[in-house]
Amino acid sequence: MENVVTLIAVPGTPLTLGLVRSVQDALAAAGARMGTPDWLAPGAACDIPLDAIAAPPAERAVRAAAPCIDVVVQQTSGRRKRLFVADMDSTIIGQECLDEVAATAGLGPKVAELTRRAMAGEIDFAAALRERVALFRGLPLTLLDQVMRDSVRLNPGARVLLATLRAHGCYTALVSGGFTYFTERVARMAGFDTWNGNVFGTADGTLTGEIAGPIGGAEAKREMLERLMAERGVVRSETLAAGDGANDILMLQAAGLGVAYHGKPRAREAAAARIDSASLTALLFVQGYRAAEFTGGD
């Protein structure tokens, strides 16, 4: 069959046979013809093959029938990707690094509000980034070490996701509008092949409140995706991107499959797929991996 709907359990709500049957009934009522459900992991993820029904009505039918699970509808062919690019803050890690720096320095509320508005697409990303970093002028670089040690944590499933993808030949890149101090360390923690980011201005062991070099935002994320495609001989349909904010939209839309992962409203609306509640291992189920194929561990 041409399409597949992947049902993924979320924390606290196992995927039951009853839920799968409810989804099948809803798809049948929407006019879909289905194949036999294929359990990728008992109680956690299940594929239902579909005929050529369009993805949007199929997804709407599933979400109406089972609002307590995550769902992705896509073409059956080409599900396993050769290139994965991911945002860092609130995607691979559960934090916004600049917010954590600000909180540690006693600047939390003002910086957090700027971050929220920038990620929601309410204000210009570059301008908001400059304004936030300017507030850090004079802070010691040791504060970054403290934040990395005490506050930055990988989201559940990150290491399994990266280890499994790399074991199956997928090249992985952390493409962040954040700063290389954090992206390099997070990339190594999670197991990415490469990473990018902006650079803090520093002098005499302190932050200058400036950004060294050009600011990498939404365009830079898309450009890195396309550069890696060219360098590695990967076609667009073989790429997967994940991110949560408005500055991820260009990257999500440029990928073969763009997934808004625990996304803000604008990212959810713009992306071809979304994972609202499940862990990062959902990105493996979306590609048709079975739990028995997972490697690594958190």
Which pTM does this prediction carry? 0.94
pLDDT in tens, the chain (298 residues): 799 999 999 999 999 999 999 999 999 998 889 999 999 999 999 999 998 667 788 888 999 999 999 999 999 999 999 999 999 999 999 999 999 999 999 988 888 888 888 888 898 888 889 999 999 999 999 999 999 999 999 999 999 999 999 999 999 999 998 999 999 999 999 999 999 999 999 999 999 999 998 888 899 999 999 999 999 999 999 999 999 999 999 999 999 999 999 999 999 999 999 999 999 999 999 999 999 999 987 6
- What is the C-alpha separation between 224 and 158, in angstroms, rounded? 21
| pLDDT score of 240 | 98
Among the listed residues 70, 89, 99, 244, the single catalytic one is: 89
Work out the number of other CB atoms within 10 angstroms of the CB of residue 171.
20
* Residue 289: partners with Cβ closer than 8 Å, 6 or more residues away: 40, 80, 164, 168
- What is the C-alpha separation between 157 and 152, in angstroms, rounded? 15
Under CATH, what is the fold of the domain 80-94+154-298? Rossmann fold (3.40.50)
Query: φ, ψ for residue 275 (rounded to 5)?
Result: -120, 115
Among the listed residues 47, 87, 99, 244, the single catalytic one is: 87
Work out the number of other CB atoms within 10 angstroms of the CB of residue 163.
18
Under CATH, what is the fold of the domain 1-77? Alpha-Beta Plaits (3.30.70)
| pLDDT score of 298 | 64
* Residue 89 is among the residues annotated as catalytic for this protein: yes
Q: Looking at residue 216, what DSSP letter applies?
A: -
Helix (H, G, I), strand (E, B) or coil at 192: coil
Domain boundaries, the chain: 1-77, 80-94+154-298
**Tell me: the pLDDT tens digits for 157-212?**
999 999 999 999 999 999 998 999 999 999 999 999 999 999 999 999 999 999 99
* Residue 99 is among the residues annotated as catalytic for this protein: no
